[in-house]
Amino acid sequence: MKRRAMMGAILAAAATWAAPVAAQNDRAPALSTLLRRLQGDPAYAGRIVGTHVVRAGSGTAFLYEVRILSPDDRIVIVHLDPDSGAVVGNPDAWLRRRASR
């Protein structure tokens, strides 16, 4: 019984956290589309080893974080704007530009 209550609480918390991501990305391209576009760019050659949704700053804006294993065995972390698919070099600067729109 305790395990069910704990799982219910975890699922409720996850749904609450995921709602802003879903609402923000109603019109945005799918992550799979953005990853294919990123892989087609020679500047980001390598194998994608992980993707995450990360909160940008302390607000409600989110970014996709993509980890790429480059041909020279380095991990390259790339942040993508979920609305446009653009590579964000500096998440803080991206937040300021987004707030000024």
In the chain, where the domains are located? 2-100
Residue 101, helix vs strand vs coil: coil
pTM given for the model? 0.63
pLDDT digits (tens, 9 = 90+) for 23-81: 455 667 889 999 999 899 888 889 999 999 988 877 778 899 999 998 999 888 889 98
pLDDT digits (tens, 9 = 90+) for 21-35: 554 556 678 899 999
Give the integer Cα–Cα distance in Å for 99 and 90: 14
Nearest to 76 by CA among 42, 48, 39, 36: 48
pLDDT at 9: 55
Give the integer Cα–Cα distance in Å for 82 and 37: 13
